[in-house]
Amino acid sequence: MWNGIGRSRRKHLVNNPTKTIPMSQYSASELWSIFIMQGFSGLSLFSVLLLMALGLAIIFGQMGVVNLAHGEFMALGAYVVYLCSEVVHNHFPALVPFYFIIAIVIAFFTAALVGLLVEWSLIRFLYRRPLDTLLATWGLSLIMQQTFRSVFGAREVTPALPEWLMGSFKPTDSIDIPINGVFVMGLTLCLTAAVWLFMYRSRIGLHMRATVQNRVMSGAVGINTQWVDRFTFCLGCGIAGVAGAAFTTIGSTGPDSGSRYIVDTFLVVVFGGTTSLMGTIASAFGIAQGQSISGFFLEGTMGKVAILLTIIIVLMIRPKGLFASKLRS
Amino acid sequence: MIANTNTQLALSDLTVSFDGFKAVDGLNLSIEKDELRVIIGPNGAGKTTVLDLICGKTRPTRGSVKFNNRELVGLAEHEIVRAGVGRKFQTPSIYENLSVYENLEVSFPRGRSVFGCLSFTDTPDVTERIQRVAEEIYLKDHLEVEGAVLSHGQKQWLEIGMLLMQEPRLLMLDEPVAGMGPAEREQTAELLNRICKGRCILIIEHDMEFVSRIAHKVTVLHLGKILAEGSMEQVQNDPQVIEVYLGH
Amino acid sequence: MNTLYKRLLGGKSGLTNLVVLAVLLLLVLPLSLDIFRLNLVGKYLTFAFVALGLVLLWGKAGVLSLGQGVFFGLGGYCMAMFLKLEASDPVSTKIQSTPGIPDFMDWNQFTHLPAFWVPFRHLPFSLCAVIALPVLVAGVVGFAMFRRRVGGVYFAIITQALALLLSLGIDGNQGYTGGRNGITDLRTLWGWDIRSNSAQYTLYFATCALLIMLIMAGQWLLSGKMGKLLNAMRDREDRVRFSGYDVSAIKVFIFCLAAGLSGLGGALFVLQVGFISPSLVGIIPSIEMVIFAAVGGRSSLYGAVYGALVVNTAKSLFSESLPQLWLFLMGGLFIAVVVLFPNGLAGAWELGKRKAGPLLEKIKSRRRILLPDAPLVSAFEQEKS
């Protein structure tokens, strides 16, 4: 990722990590390369955020359930991929080049199944009490985190990624695009499209939307609203599992990986307006890119602080998010 | 439109549209002092929306609401209430965890600011008004009863009582007898006829028999516009009204 | 006098609660614990201030804030800044490259005190800031949010974001704030050595006294119209608005009140524990503060104190001996308190009193049945004579 920046600049940054160079001191082409590469690293962040936000938007935006353990479902997906990786490498070495895609599918179903268990045992008692759901799912996230810690250890783990995901391709000399980033983006696009098709073009999606908009009437026309809720929750968790699986290509997984992104994900959903899929996409993109680019020019975590501050201020002015449609109150 | 000096409430060209759909369309309506007006109309005619517009719950896209020559559009809900407008909701909206006495006490129009709440004490004029209103709404012997325990009809009366505590000049009631038995309807009709002295009342109702017992004037709403207006007999014999109600 | 008694103490049951708490905090604990443990209890009690605020804000007004750590931290940092400046006088810091400024500023090659630190040289300003700064921030945020009818879950998430924002902001600016390690090595408050045993005793009793007074103030608040209004607001906000109340103003007031209480708790924390860091400001501590209130019984003022004491004691015990188990327990606690025991310890206490009442009656009546004409002298004495 450093390739585009001149040697002397790189050395300066390595030797003085806390002293960033103001934008004005870069040449135009260097700036361009930086933007492109930060843009791409921003795109990886965007993909993860969007995948997480999709699952959360379905659960929160559709059902009004706040699942603070959503990050842990993501971590679950990541750990499942890690497990598959261990099993395949130790017992079925022939499957190594193929296992990754299968692992992603397994991650989806595992997360969805755990989601089913959670919905059945906990969430369904708390539908009318969103604040209580918040606290209960926070407790759940603590339990899940500790389970990961006890089972997998406190150190971070990484599944062995297949060959075709490694490396990068270089369209020009100064731009270096990692393949795993492209893969994650591709996966995200496919999944987003699949979700959209499912929600707006399938029968079950129709049932889901109907239940959310008018529960009583949906029940009256024969839709089993309890099962729709359960299904919606599982779908959201499953998507989080896939997000976790995708996450393994760009970072390592530890017991608290989930909590690292949870607040961002919620802000993405709230910022974009919980009723709109386009809003979620745009919001994830804006926030990820904003963080990535500002993180380069501002010291350390200050980039994130700047973005957080911006989001909060915008939310204070438009609390329903940027893309919420005007509904009859 | 020349306003009658006796007019308390005047809606002019009131319009509200939600994403293109006009729930209320260019409505012109005026109510005089001491009048009891009932708005009737088929479902979706915009009746509840009219009340929402007057009390500030919804903002109109166009038009004005003048109450005692004061423009209400643009004011916050609590400001409109303080201007003398009281609204009763369709489903009884009382404080279930408080007693009848406390429900009425909280509705007393003093100490409504933060500081006022902190320094409020139950002076004799408060107690006196609570007793008076409780008697009006047939709940004199139920002052210590918790709100949740009251019957549906008693809850409706309590809500009317809470509004009466504010001594409103305009009282708006949304289906006040919904869910009441015939005896309770009788009592409610009597109550309403009693309290329209010195104020004007706007009611939405579906029960025609009840309406004919209390209404001074009836307005029929259809698709956001006024279809007919007049006394109950006039309206009942209006051919357009008959067609809309009996349908095609 | 009668109404004052009723309003401040909450009647007979309130008086019992008060006496029990006072005896526990002012007599039982100081006599049975050594100063080290008592200091820990003092620390837990500072969290009770936050829990008290949450009882008013969440239990009574129905507004959940997951960012009370922000206000706790602001109050704490204000106090810590004053104490740090006092401990960084030019004489004791003469080995630094720039004497007279805190050590962490020196490490970051600062040559002078940043502007916003300067007013904290003065005790009156710092003391005012401890309460005023959290109240101001709460006022701004509350006004922006409540006026736009942002409530419930949205509000909770935004308070979380605020907590994250502040903790990251403090963390990433070591020169200005002490960074991740926080502000440490605090010694004296206007010449009075706060690390000595006698000082710790004094601070402990001061904390207890303040807490008890604030509980009584809270009872006064809730026993009047405000209490009924909060109840009504939680029940039917719309109806309250249409009765002519400015609901958002009331919510802002309670939010600011809770913020001020938390700020005070933060300052007392710094005085008793001797440091402050972003680990007390962020998301995790803020949510933990909610659990203190929840365990106590979210709408009970006394419950807040017991909740804070119980959870923190459990945390100390378990995280020493069985750290793995502790997170499971805490997670389980969150779930249990929401699903099984929404009224927490206070609810259990009420239940116990209700069940104990008839049971005591039963025992008394049993004795009367068994011994209707019980002799005034015992059988043994009868035999003797």
Task: Write the pLDDT tens digit of every residue in A72-93.
Answer: 999 999 999 999 888 888 887 7
For chain C positions 16-45, those within 8 Å of chain A (CB to CB) are: none
Given a contact cutoff of 8 angstroms between Cβ atoms, the answer to whether C333 and C311 are in contact is yes
Query: Is residue B79 domain-resident?
Result: yes
User: Is any Cβ of chain C less than 8 angstroms from the Cβ of A305?
Assistant: yes
Q: How many CA atoms lie within 13 A of A314 on its CB side?
A: 19
For CA atoms C250, C253, C258, C261, give the dihedral sign: negative
Query: Is residue B110 domain-resident?
Result: no
Angle CA(B89)–CA(B91)–CA(B97) in degrees, nearest 5? 100
The DSSP call for residue B107 is T
Instruction: State pLDDT tens for residues A118-136.
Output: 999 988 888 878 888 889 9
- Tell me how close the Cα of A328 comes to any Cα of chain B, in angstroms: 7
Average pLDDT score over residue span A105-112 = 93
* Rounded Cα–Cα distance for residues C109 and A101 (Å): 52
Given a contact cutoff of 8 angstroms between Cβ atoms, the answer to whether A277 and A208 are in contact is no
- In angstroms, the Cα distances linking B92 to B45, B77, B86, B175, B183 are 22, 19, 14, 10, 18
Tokens of C266: 């933060």
Residues whose CB falls within 8 Å of the CB of residue C163, separated by 6 or more in sequence, listed in order: C66, C67, C69, C70, C281, C282, C283, C286
| Average pLDDT of every residue of chain C | 87
Given a contact cutoff of 8 angstroms between Cβ atoms, the answer to whether C157 and A266 are in contact is yes
For CA atoms B110, B115, B117, B119, give the dihedral sign: negative
For chain A positions 245-304, those within 8 Å of chain C (CB to CB) are: 263, 266-267, 270, 299-302, 304
For CA atoms A201, A203, A205, A209, give the dihedral sign: positive
Instruction: State pLDDT tens for residues A268-286.
Output: 888 887 667 788 888 888 8
pTM for the structure as a whole: 0.85
Q: Which chains touch C (3 or more CB pairs under 8 A)?
A: A, B
The kind and range of the H/E element at B32 are strand B21-32
* Closest residue in chain C to residue B76, using alpha carbons only: C246
Residue in A140, A301, A315 closest to C331 by CB: A140
User: Is any Cβ of chain A less than 8 angstroms from the Cβ of B58?
Assistant: yes
The DSSP call for residue C97 is S
| Beta carbons of C243 and B106 less than 8 Å apart | yes
* Rounded Cα–Cα distance for residues B137 and B41 (Å): 28
The DSSP call for residue B4 is P
Do the bridges between strand B70-71 and strand B225-230 make them parallel or antiparallel, or are there none, so unpaired? Answer: unpaired
Residues whose CB falls within 8 Å of the CB of residue B182, separated by 6 or more in sequence, listed in order: none
Query: Is residue B22 domain-resident?
Result: yes
- In angstroms, the Cα distances linking A48 to A79, A163, A186, A277 are 16, 22, 12, 16
Q: What is the DSSP string of B49-96?
A: HHHHHHHTSS--SEEEEEETTEE-TTS-HHHHHHTTEEEE-SS----T
Q: How many CB atoms lie within 10 A of CB C367?
A: 11
- Binning pLDDT at 50, 70 and 90, where does residue A9 land? very low
Residue B47 belongs to a domain with what CATH number? 3.40.50.300
| Beta carbons of C338 and A142 less than 8 Å apart | no
Count, residues in chain B: 248
User: Is any Cβ of chain C less than 8 angstroms from the Cβ of A327?
Assistant: no
Q: How many CB atoms lie within 10 A of CB A213?
A: 10
pLDDT of residue A59: 83
pLDDT of residue A140: 94
Q: How many CA atoms lie within 13 A of B122 on its CB side?
A: 15
| Beta carbons of C225 and B113 less than 8 Å apart | no
* Closest residue in chain A to residue B23, using alpha carbons only: A328
* Rounded Cα–Cα distance for residues A207 and A128 (Å): 20
Residues whose CB falls within 8 Å of the CB of residue C231, separated by 6 or more in sequence, listed in order: B95, B97, B98, C60
ipTM above 0.90, yes or no: no
For chain A positions 147-206, those within 8 Å of chain C (CB to CB) are: 149-150
Tell me the chain A residues in contact with residue C340 when contact means C-beta distances shorter than 8 Å: none
Residue in A134, A145, A315 closest to C327 by CB: A145
Query: Is residue B212 domain-resident?
Result: yes
| Beta carbons of A299 and C328 less than 8 Å apart | no
How many separate domains does chain B show?
1
Query: Is residue B81 domain-resident?
Result: yes
Query: Is residue B106 domain-resident?
Result: no
Q: How many CB atoms lie within 10 A of CB B28?
A: 14
* Rounded Cα–Cα distance for residues C231 and C254 (Å): 13
| Owning domain of residue B65 | 7-94+168-246
Given a contact cutoff of 8 angstroms between Cβ atoms, the answer to whether A58 and A235 are in contact is yes
Tell me the Ramachandran region of residue C83: left when phi exceeds 0, alpha when psi lies from -120 to 50, beta otherwise.
Answer: alpha
Side chain identity, residue A306: A
Of B196-210, C82-96, C371-385, the poorest mean pLDDT is in C371-385
Chain Cα centroid distance, residue B143: 24
* Rounded Cα–Cα distance for residues A197 and A240 (Å): 18
Residue in C58, C152, C342 closest to A130 by CB: C152
Tokens of A224: 């089993």
Residue in C225, C235, C247 closest to B111 by CB: C225
Per-residue pLDDT of chain B in tens (248 residues, 90 and over written 9): 455 567 888 899 888 888 778 888 888 988 888 888 999 888 777 888 888 899 888 888 889 999 988 899 988 888 898 888 998 888 888 898 889 998 998 888 887 888 888 888 778 888 898 999 998 888 888 888 888 899 888 899 999 999 999 888 999 999 888 888 888 888 898 888 888 888 889 999 888 888 888 888 899 888 888 888 888 888 888 888 888 776 54
Count, residues in chain C: 385
* Rounded Cα–Cα distance for residues A216 and C35 (Å): 61
- In angstroms, the Cα distances linking C123 to B74, C261, C262 are 47, 19, 19
